[in-house]
Structure 1
Amino acid sequence: MEDNITPKQNKGGRKLKKNPAIFRYSISLNEEENNRFRSLFQQSGMKVMAHFITACVFQKTIKTVKIDVSAMDYHVRLTNLYGQFRSVGINYNQVVKIMYHNFSEKKAAAYLFKLEKQTIEMVKLIQEIIHLTQEFENNHLK
């Protein structure tokens, strides 16, 4: 009797879903409604339009993501500026070492005095950048 029972063979392919969606509905939108629908879909950040529609129909919470291009641009430029300040700091250390190594102490001190004045101006500039960044965050990001 055991010889007559054939084991199930795996036919391959995709595994069946537990709860497949088999019902389909169709809607028609005019141009204005379609534009509004597409903008809402893009703001939601969802990847699949069918999931977005289902969430809208069943009143699930729909998250919308607003991307402020000016804030992103400001952030990118500020990050680049930070990288430049780091390189200035590295170069500053190298210049001080080279000055004391190649020049007399009196001449090196004179050049360092000029460098110190430029550094003070740079510190003022950095403080202004910090102030403007805080102002930008308060006015545009909250």
Structure 2
Amino acid sequence: MKGLSSSEVAKECNINVETIRYYERRGLLPVVPRTESGYRVFSTEIVDRIKFIKRAQELDFSLSEIKKLISITENDSSFTSQEIQQFAQHKLAEIESKISGLKSVQSILHDLLERCSGKGPICECPIMQNLLVDGNKRK
């Protein structure tokens, strides 16, 4: 049986073998044939699939979302490019929301760092005071 071993696939995709197993468990990769000795034999299409997964992850798609995208591209021709566009627009809105939240956190940290002299007891440190006060408000 000719094909690629899991270590060859891992090397080609710049991932470790355990990642391949994880993708298999999550249903992102199809079940592949095994040799008589029990070794998995991968086709070159698996390499393409893993590279697709990695590119989608770079765009912040979750594995569940990637699984849906794979399903759409392979099994569901009823989807239109407009629906894929909406899927991507939703992801972009999520990312923009995260960025907004991170900018808020960044602003707070800048403010706290400006107010903290780095001298004196910890109980007078504006950073620690902010953490303690905010933590007590949540209780």
TM-score w.r.t. length of structure 1: 0.33
Larger Rg: 1
Task: Please report the TM-score for the alignment, with normalisation by the length of structure 2.
Answer: 0.34
Higher relative contact order (CA 8 A, sep 6+): 2
